[in-house]
């Protein structure tokens, strides 16, 4: 237009500036600003508002401020645009200052500052501003509601979420709004209530890909073992004619990772690849690496990593975690060196993963060396995660004094249940009940309802024959209504997930499983297996203790896997708790007598049992 000698008018300038704002073309925006100056239109309030918006969207806050400060006239749009500039660029205090300085506030201004609060994770501020809006007599609308739903989800306050939802329904908001309906589902999912999430999902008149993806993610991220329901839900989604998108595949793969269902994960990987998402999505590629790592197949994780056209720090960290959690500490270190050569700087997560792998491999000197290097060579500040790994490393090697001193020297570790539980577990392993009592007392102070501390302390007493003390701890649990989480294991066979609970007999083939278990136990004894009855805290006869141990959930799952698969096939089991020392010893012998590899993922790590040995080297 300018080449042809035609001078743009204010409408053209506004359209051009809005286009630059949408595309983030700062250089073009500056050129248009120069043309505005040359045209003598800098005093036009509409153009000035567009300039403020453009600079804000292009992340040039100083230029936006300069335009705003130079405006002779400002309207509500001007103030709201400047507020948005600060909010979009993380300048929350300046955004709030602009809002408070506004000479006149309308519903658009209030909604803008409430939305800005949510965008900057100031969820409580958003709720307080909403109350202020009501006091001003202004009506809220759908935009207000969307911000409030996001705030409730951010606060993870289920009670408040239900109140806001009920209030919105009573006010007739969002009855036919897809955006509101999806936001309600997402809010309940973030609050961790699967029941409310499913109710909200079922109440939607129209269920699109977004709603299905949110619901699938809720199942995948659930901590109560609902991950397996994600697989069925995915099938239901496809039956409804909904084509999965990138986010859907991410959630489905996360569910596979949570449940460690390798075959489901491979199937989902193939589906995502066939849909064309894997080649173009860095997020999906990272998710697949994570899935294979958590399903106990670091070799598959490495294969996916090598095939990725683009990699980021998360990609490298995911690969390092896959190695570290599967007992390949040296491969994790090798990947770190390769990462450094590629120009990536490690973060705290990288260091924690390396230390985790070295700790579980019992490599104390390498762990201390890496910790020093992370601080001296890479400028990382010591994090609580790193320090907890060092506590774990020292405790596993029997340096209980040093581990306790490290905890006491770190305020973060002193206030961390995991650090004390780590040392408490080591006290059981090394027979140090007095130190164990100190650790348990600190856990009781920090988290009175933490069942793990009661259980480990009772086990510690039982291991040294102090049955009256073990009984006292159990009675204390009953008195305080502290319930031990039952041991639960599951195994994936032919696309179905089978669950076993310690001591229970609900599986339809439990009789056959127990018969096979008895036969296997005889073979194990012939191979040298002696039950470690110190893992039983009840003061009962030795024979009863052995019976209790044999009915641990992972033992039942392994036997069922042996019954249901062909000779030579790898058995893969997931357990919600840490594998006890007896089951660990038993599984090593089972792998030898049946000639199979057995992979067990417990709450601590992966154990790859093969030829009578475990990848953890008996450090777990």
Q: Say if residue 246's pLDDT is above 80.
A: yes
Q: Cα–Cα distance between 146 and 130 in angstroms, integer?
A: 12
Name the CA dihedral angle for 540, 546, 551, 555, rounded to a multiple of 10 degrees.
150
β-pair partners for 575? 489
Q: Cα–Cα distance between 487 and 502 in angstroms, integer?
A: 5
Identify the weakest region by mean pLDDT among 155-159, 208-212, 437-441: 437-441
Q: Are strands 606-610 and 613-614 parallel, antiparallel or unpaired?
A: antiparallel
DSSP string for 54-65 = HHHHTT-HHHHH
Q: Give the C-alpha distances (Å, rounded to integers) separating 395 from 35, 400, 405, 406, 445.
A: 69, 5, 11, 11, 21
Q: Which of 320, 352, 315, 353 is nearest to 334 (CA)?
A: 320
Contact between 250 and 284 under an 8 Å Cβ cutoff? The reply is: yes
- Quick check: helix, strand or coil at residue 254? helix
Q: Which of 290, 297, 278 is nearest to 314 (CA)?
A: 290
Contact between 139 and 147 under an 8 Å Cβ cutoff? The reply is: no
Locate tokens 């390498």: which residue? 366
What's the mean pLDDT in 215-221? Answer: 91
Q: Cα–Cα distance between 329 and 90 in angstroms, integer?
A: 39
Q: Say if residue 543's pLDDT is above 70.
A: no
Name the CA dihedral angle for 311, 312, 314, 319, rounded to a multiple of 10 degrees.
40
Report which DSSP code applies to 533: G
Confidence of residue 324 (pLDDT cuts 50, 70, 90): very high
Q: Cα–Cα distance between 151 and 602 in angstroms, integer?
A: 35
pLDDT tens-digit series, residues 345-374: 999 999 999 999 999 888 999 999 999 999
* Burial category of 306 from C-beta neighbours within 10 Å (exposed 0-12, middle 13-18, buried 19 and up): exposed
Extract the tokens encoding 318: 């995911």
CA angle, corner 61, sides to 59 and 66, nearest 5? 140
Contact between 206 and 178 under an 8 Å Cβ cutoff? The reply is: yes
Give the number of other Cβ atoms within 10 Å of residue 516's Cβ.
16
**% of the chain beyond a pLDDT of 90:** 68
Q: Cα–Cα distance between 197 and 192 in angstroms, integer?
A: 8
CATH class of 408-484: mainly alpha
pLDDT tens-digit series, residues 368-400: 999 999 999 999 999 999 999 999 999 999 999
Identify the weakest region by mean pLDDT among 126-135, 302-311, 340-349, 537-546: 537-546
DSSP string for 231-252 = HHHHHHHHHTTPPP-HHHHHHH
Report which DSSP code applies to 73: S
Q: Say if residue 536's pLDDT is above 60.
A: no
Q: Cα–Cα distance between 357 and 326 in angstroms, integer?
A: 8
Average pLDDT value for the chain: 90
Q: Say if residue 169's pLDDT is above 90.
A: no
Task: Kindly provide the b/e burial profile for residues 405-434, where b requires at least 16 CB atoms within 10 angstroms of the residue's own CB.
Answer: ebbeebeebeebbebbbbbbbbbbeeebbe
Locate tokens 């095939």: which residue? 307
Q: Say if residue 539's pLDDT is above 50.
A: no
Contact between 358 and 370 under an 8 Å Cβ cutoff? The reply is: yes
Q: What is the pLDDT of residue 2?
A: 46
Is pLDDT larger for residue 525 or for residue 7?
A: 525
Name the CA dihedral angle for 451, 453, 458, 462, rounded to a multiple of 10 degrees.
130
Q: What is the pLDDT of residue 471?
A: 84
Q: Cα–Cα distance between 129 and 124 in angstroms, integer?
A: 9
β-pair partners for 490? 499, 574
Q: CA gyration radius for the chain?
A: 30
Give me the phi and psi of 496, to 5 degrees please. -115, 145
- Quick check: helix, strand or coil at residue 574? strand
Containing 263, the helix (H) or strand (E) segment is: helix 262-274
- Quick check: helix, strand or coil at residue 619? coil
Given strand 613-614, what is the order of strands in its sheet? 496-501, 488-493, 571-575, 598-601, 606-610, 613-614
Sign (positive/negative) of CA torsion 590, 596, 597, 598?
A: negative
Extract the tokens encoding 584: 């660990």
pLDDT tens-digit series, residues 53-102: 999 999 999 999 999 999 999 999 999 999 999 988 989 889 999 999 99
- Quick check: helix, strand or coil at residue 609? strand
Q: Cα–Cα distance between 217 and 190 in angstroms, integer?
A: 10
Q: Cα–Cα distance between 232 and 216 in angstroms, integer?
A: 10
pLDDT tens-digit series, residues 250-289: 999 999 998 899 999 999 999 999 999 988 899 999 999 9
């Amino acid at each position: 237009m300018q080449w042809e000698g035609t001078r743009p008018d204010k409408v053209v300038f506004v359209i051009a500036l809005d286009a630059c704002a949408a595309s983030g073309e700062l250089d073009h925006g500056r050129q248009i600003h120069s043309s505005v100056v040359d045209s003598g239109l800098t005093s036009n309030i509409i153009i000035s508002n567009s300039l403020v918006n453009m600079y804000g969207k292009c992340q040039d806050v100083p230029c936006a401020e300069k335009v705003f400060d130079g405006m002779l006239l400002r309207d509500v749009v001007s103030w709201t645009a400047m507020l948005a500039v600060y909010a979009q660029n993380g300048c929350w205090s300046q955004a709030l200052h602009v809002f408070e300085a506004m000479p006149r506030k309308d519903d658009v201004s209030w909604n803008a500052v409430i939305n800005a609060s949510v965008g900057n994770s100031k969820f409580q501020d958003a709720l307080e501003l909403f109350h202020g809006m009501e006091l001003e007599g202004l009506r809220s609308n759908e935009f207000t509601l969307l911000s409030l739903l996001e705030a409730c989800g951010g606060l993870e306050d289920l009670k408040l979420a239900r109140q806001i939802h009920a209030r919105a329904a009573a006010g007739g908001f969002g009855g036919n709004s897809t955006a509101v309906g999806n936001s309600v589902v997402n809010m309940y999912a973030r609050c961790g209530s699967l029941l409310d999430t499913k109710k909200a999902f079922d109440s939607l008149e129209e269920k699109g890909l977004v709603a299905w993806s949110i619901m699938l993610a809720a199942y995948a991220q659930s901590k109560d073992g609902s991950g397996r329901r994600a697989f069925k839900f995915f099938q239901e989604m496809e039956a409804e004619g909904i084509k999965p998108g990138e986010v859907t595949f991410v959630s489905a793969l996360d569910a596979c990772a949570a449940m460690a269902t390798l075959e489901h994960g491979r199937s989902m990987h193939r589906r995502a690849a066939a849909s064309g998402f894997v080649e173009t999505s860095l997020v999906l590629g990272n998710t697949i690496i994570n899935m294979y790592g958590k399903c106990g197949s670091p070799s598959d994780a490495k294969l996916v990593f090598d095939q990725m056209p683009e990699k980021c720090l998360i990609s490298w960290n995911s690969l390092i975690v896959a190695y570290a959690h599967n007992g390949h500490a040296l491969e994790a270190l090798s990947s770190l060196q390769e990462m450094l050569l590629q120009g990536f700087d490690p973060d705290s997560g990288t260091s924690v993963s390396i230390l985790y792998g070295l700790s579980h491999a019992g490599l104390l000197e390498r762990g201390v060396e890496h910790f020093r290097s992370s601080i001296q060579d890479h400028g990382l500040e010591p994090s609580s995660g790193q320090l907890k790994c060092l506590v774990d490393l020292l405790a596993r090697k029997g340096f209980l004094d040093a581990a306790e001193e490290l905890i006491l020297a770190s305020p973060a570790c002193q206030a961390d249940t995991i650090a004390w539980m780590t040392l408490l577990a080591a006290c059981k392993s090394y027979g140090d009940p007095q130190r164990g009592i100190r650790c348990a007392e600190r856990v009781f102070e920090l988290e009175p309802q933490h069942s793990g501390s009661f259980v480990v302390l009772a086990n510690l007493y039982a291991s040294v024959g102090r049955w009256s003390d073990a009984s006292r701890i159990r009675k204390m649990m009953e008195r305080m209504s502290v319930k031990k989480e039952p041991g639960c294991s599951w195994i994936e066979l032919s696309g179905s997930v089978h669950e076993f609970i310690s001591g229970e007999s609900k599986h339809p083939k439990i009789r056959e499983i127990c018969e096979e278990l008895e036969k296997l136990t005889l073979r194990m004894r012939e191979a040298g297996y002696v039950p470690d009855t110190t893992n039983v805290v009840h003061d009962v006869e030795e024979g009863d203790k052995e019976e209790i141990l044999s009915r641990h959930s992972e033992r039942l799952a392994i036997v069922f896997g042996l019954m249901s698969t062909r000779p030579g096939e790898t058995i893969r089991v997931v357990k919600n708790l840490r594998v006890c020392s007896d089951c660990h010893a038993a599984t090593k012998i089972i792998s030898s007598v049946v000639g199979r590899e057995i992979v067990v993922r417990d709450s601590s790590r992966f154990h790859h049992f093969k030829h009578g040995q475990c990848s953890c080297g008996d450090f777990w």
